[in-house]
Amino acid sequence: MLFNSLEYLVFLPLVTLAYYLLQSLRARNFMLLLASYYFYMQYKPEYGLLMLFATFVCYISALGISKTQSKAIKKLWLTFSVLGTMGLLFFYKYFNFFNRNVAGLLSFFNVSWQPLSLDILLPVGISFFTFQSLSYTIDVYREDIIAEKDFFTFALFVSFFPQLVAGPIERSTNLLPQFYQHNRFDTSKAVSGLRLMLFGFFKKVVIADRLAVIVDTVYNNYKSYNGVVYIIATVAFAFQIFCDFSGYSDIARGSARLFGFELMSNFERPYYSKSVTEFWRRWHISLSSWFRDYLYIPLGGSRKGYVRTLINLFVVFTVSGLWHGANWTFVVWGALNGAAIVIEKILGIGKRAGKQEYMREQAIKRRQKPWFVRAAVTIAGIIPMLITFAFICFTWVFFRAQSIDQALYMLPRFLEGLDTFDLQKFIGTRMILGLDS
């Protein structure tokens, strides 16, 4: 069931009404659990079994961890949880990708091997609910949260429909306790939630879906274009993916707010960033913080020396690229962002951007400098913002391209045909405006 569908616009009010009509907290949660599974199984009924499997693995693992004092047994339960959830994710998302690349590597050494290719349909949201359920087990292992004894409440945490298929990836420390609150209908929260949903629908349907026409037209027929058309399509994609993803997050947060629940903010004006480091503090915050807490820190974070810190940063962002999709384009995209952050770390650019922001705000706020000095400081703040945006758009080429070859074909041609480009003719076509069916 899609957010931007008639089914959801009927489904959400009915579930909200049922939630407040029920007085028992346990009945409310069980109803939300059933509604969440109904929501998810509208994509494909068997998807519910996969989510139930991940839920069961993490539930019993957390209980096993909480019931023993042995560190070795705790690690065994944690390993079981990691293998169960990541094994599920690997099989459905990366099995064919892994097989193809192993076959390619063997052929390089003149070893003939026919890879097994399975007709696997990637379950919607599997990357989200596996990460969310696994983080819970790790939190229990770290003693950041007490293991949830009620299976249905934990199952609701994993499957809560507003954030199930597109995030944000919630933490057990934030969302689980909220299911024990006996929320009363709050008009101000409901209005706030509806307003947030409306803004999300606007970003998704009005902006993202219109920009997708431009992006798809160019990227699906990239050999028919070059130069400024590539630039326009790539900038359009930058705003398409932001409005699409942040729009879904807004709808998710607004939907949850109707029930009195608060989900974390996932985007904080990322294109205002003055460095790639700052961009990743503002973009897909729930995923960035997940990789920080559950991969970067376990790898050693910044505790094992300067060089190790740089390596850890690069590894984390490369892996995060693979999380987005089973294609080398995503790996390169993640690696480029990781390399940029490593370079900024070496040069101290991220810290410098923060200092510039502080100085600019102080100069304007106190009005102690002449107008031309204030203007110069403002411009000095805009320049790194534009440079960062240009780099992010450069990496988006790999993210949107269907192959490395396509990205490498397009990038050298970005500046071709600048003198012959007719903007009015390009924008005026019915296809670009999305008027053709």
What are the angstrom distances between the C-alpha of 74 and each of 137, 224, 296, 297, 347? 10, 58, 21, 19, 41
Token digits for 110? Answer: 């003149």
User: Are 267 and 249 spatial neighbours (Cβ–Cβ below 8 Å)?
Assistant: yes
Residues acting as catalytic residues: 324
Q: What is the pLDDT of residue 373?
A: 63
Q: Which residues contact 109 (CB under 8 A, 6 or more apart)?
A: none
- Minimal CA–CA distance to 118: which of 137, 134, 148, 98? 98
Q: What is the pLDDT of residue 429?
A: 52
Residue numbers of the chain with a pLDDT score lower than 50: 353-354, 366, 430-433, 435-437
Q: What is the pLDDT of residue 430?
A: 39
pLDDT digits (tens, 9 = 90+) for 270-318: 999 999 999 999 999 999 999 999 999 999 988 888 999 999 999 999 9
Q: What is the pLDDT of residue 226?
A: 83
Q: What is the pLDDT of residue 431?
A: 45
pTM beyond cutoff 0.75 = yes
Q: What is the pLDDT of residue 427?
A: 56
Q: What is the pLDDT of residue 1?
A: 81
Task: Determine the Cα angle at 169 with ends 68 and 40, to 5°.
Answer: 100
Per-position b or e across 385-406, b if 16+ CB within 10 A of its CB: beebbebbbbbbbbbbbeeeeb
Token digits for 30? Answer: 């069980």
